[in-house]
Structure 1
Amino acid sequence: MTNIVFLAGNIGNDPEMVNTRGGTKITDFRLATSRPKRADGKVVKGENGYTEQDTEWHRIKCFNGLAETVQKHCAKGMKVAVRGRIHYTRWTDDDDIERFSSEIIADAIDFLAWPKRDGAGNQTEDTDDIPF
């Protein structure tokens, strides 16, 4: 069996890149995905008649060339598709409590929409209206 993940959503923060002592470039960002909210097996609609959404946040990690591309071209609010794999980590904290975490190790990122920019080229808060 293969560990494959495909997520499409909005970048929730400006990507941050670090370099390891060994020269590996690593860029991290959070990705928000949404799905219709359900209760008793039915889709929940708000007072305005629109479907309510449940949002999940995913930690995305990119390495080397992809890390550089994401750092250079991605920003909060962009719509992207991420292809990669789930990675689980287990550790013991300072209080001797066993902790678990998961993240998505990205193999590819496809740009689905750019963030909107003002006349000076600065990103605005609104994004293109492409539903997922």
Structure 2
Amino acid sequence: MLNRVILIGRLTKDPELRYTPAGVAVTQFTLAIDRPFSNQQTKEKEADFINIVTWRQLAETCANYLRKGRLTAVEGRLQVRNYDNNEGRKVYVTEVVADNVRFLESSKEGGSSGGSSNTGNREESTYTRNNNSGGGTPRDNSNQDPFLDDGKPIDISDDDLPF
């Protein structure tokens, strides 16, 4: 069975960092993701608003570096949970539990952070949940253009292919 979700969108507000009674960090935020089509009547683009949850070191990293309006990629799994509200009604919540978050803009670019835009290569940071310790570890992408050698053969062995 497979439960994987990959989303790219903009944060609707700054992430909310909280801690469980056991001291585990948890961050919640919402991504706004444009639909690929427009509304027939108003000709306006519609968006979906997806709730995202991160845990442990990844939660603290997201709370420290993500801000409203920032373009972000999230990879994780879809989860549905429920609880009884104050009126005794069962409430269902659908959310993505993220284990990989990529910051697709530097803090100087886009979003509501203001400042001047970067004219060179974009700074892209990746934070991944470490399955052993639960912490996030940054990966260095060295700001290299992934299409630098476009059109040239790629040196890859058959053992590296997933199929």
TM-score normalized by the length of structure 2: 0.62
Deviations 1:15-73 (A, max 9, x none): 1111112110001111100012254xxxx784xxxxx3111101111001111111111
Larger Rg belongs to: 2
Q: How far is the alpha carbon of 1:94 from its aligned partner?
A: 2.5
Quick one: distance in 1 between partners of 2:107 and 2:31? 14
Per the alignment, residue 29 of structure 2 pairs with 29
Quick one: distance in 1 between partners of 2:94 and 2:32? 15
Which of 75, 80, 83 lines up with 2:72 in the alignment?
80
CA contact (8 A) 1:79 1:114 kept: no
Gaps of 5+ in 1: 47-51
CA contact (8 A) 1:116 1:124 kept: yes
Structure ranking higher in strand proportion: 1
Q: Which amino acid aligns with 1:88?
A: V
- Give the total of aligned pairs: 115
Over aligned residues, Cα RMSD in angstroms?
Answer: 2.6
Per the alignment, residue 100 of structure 2 pairs with 108
Quick one: distance in 2 between partners of 1:97 and 1:45? 36
Report the 3-state secondary structure (helix = DSSP H, G, I; strand = E; otherwise coil) of the residue aligned with 2:104: strand
Q: How does 1:1-132 map to 2 (within 5 A)?
A: 1-35=1-35, 36-37=37-38, 39=40, 46=43, 52-116=44-108, 123-124=113-114
Report the 3-state secondary structure (helix = DSSP H, G, I; strand = E; otherwise coil) of the residue aligned with 1:23: coil
More relative contact order, 1 or 2 (CA 8 Å, 6+ apart) = 1
Q: Which amino acid aligns with 2:38?
A: K
TM-score normalized by the length of structure 1: 0.76
